Structure formats: C-alpha cells, structure tokens
Amino acid sequence: MNSDVEIAGDLLAVPHLLPPAPEHPDTVAAFAGLARRIAADRAGWTPLVRYDATTRWYHRLRTGPGYEVWLLSWVPGQGSGRHDHGPSSGVLTVLDGELTEHTGTLTRTLPAGTQRVLAPGGVHEVVNDALEPAVSLHVYFPGLTAMPMHAPRCSPTARDLPVG
C-alpha cells in the first residue's frame, strides 16, 4: 500500500481553494503595476493622444473604485507649474519622450519608461525641456480632487548675486 497522498484533478479548477482576486488595485505597487500594464498597451492609448501648442492636453483614460488614470501630452516647453496633488497619491509614468521633474532643489530627467511615485502633498513641477513631444500617464488614488499651485521656484537675479 502506498502512503503518499495524491490529489486528483487540477486545484486551479476548484475556485473555492484559491484566494479571491482583488477587484481593483489597493497598494502603491499595484497601482504602479496598473500603470505598466496600460503603458504596455500602446494600441489602447496612442490613438487618443493629441498635442496642443497652446495648453497641455489631458484625457481621463479610466476610473475605478477610488482611483483615476489620466493621459497627458507635453509639447516642448510645456510644464505643469509647481503643484501638489492634495490628499491623493500618484504614480507618474513617462510613456514617450522625456520629461524633467523639479522637486525642491532636486532635478530629475525622466526618460520613457520611468515611473515616479508621488506622495500626498509632495510639491513638484514637471516640464518638457526636450525638443520632442512627450506623453505621460498619471494614476491618482484617491481620484484627484485638488491640485494646489505653489509659487514658482526663485532663481537668483542680478541684485541677489554677490558683488565682488
């Protein structure tokens, strides 16, 4: 007699033995994964992109329980201005082109494929400093309800420079 226990059949065919699949993302990592899945589906977002030389173009791509996804385009020279996202966290993913992010004294170049996690209340500015248009995807959770603007970064003027 064999003492090994064998289970007949496919365990995956017995749904009550599997943990339930989440209905929607509920962690920062899951929202970053959602952004990567959307980014990989170029046929789903590329036809929607528009470029507008007078203002940044944006399109709400998707909403879900407690979150929303936005698609933005940036022609050279366009920027967001210094702002935060109120109580919302976010994941910014650069889909095409290159963007520059300014946070306090730090400046980052964000090439296509880069993801940045944005904490609630974190102040930053995003600009297209490149010579080509750019496209980005933004996931906000909870959905974006506020985007307070902040004073522009100050650069030294002639009167602020030391004489000598």
pTM of the model: 0.79
Checking if the pLDDT of 160 tops 50, the result is no
- pLDDT one-digit tens code per residue, 46-87: 999 999 999 999 999 999 988 999 999 999 999 999 999 999
Q: Looking at residues 14-24, what average pLDDT do you find?
A: 59
What is the percent of the chain with per-residue pLDDT over 90, rounded to a whole number? 67
Residue 53: which of 77, 81, 83 has the closest Cα? 77
Indicate the pLDDT class of residue 144, thresholds 50, 70 and 90: confident
> What is the torsion angle, in degrees rounded to the nearest 10, for the CA atoms of residue 131, residue 135, residue 139 and residue 143?
90
Checking if the pLDDT of 158 tops 70, the result is no
- Whole-number pLDDT of residue 147: 80
Q: Are 153 and 104 in contact (CB under 8 A)?
A: no
- pLDDT one-digit tens code per residue, 88-139: 999 999 999 999 999 988 999 999 999 999 999 999 999 999 999 999 999 9
CA 48 to chain centre: 17
Q: Are 102 and 125 in contact (CB under 8 A)?
A: yes
- Whole-number pLDDT of residue 105: 86
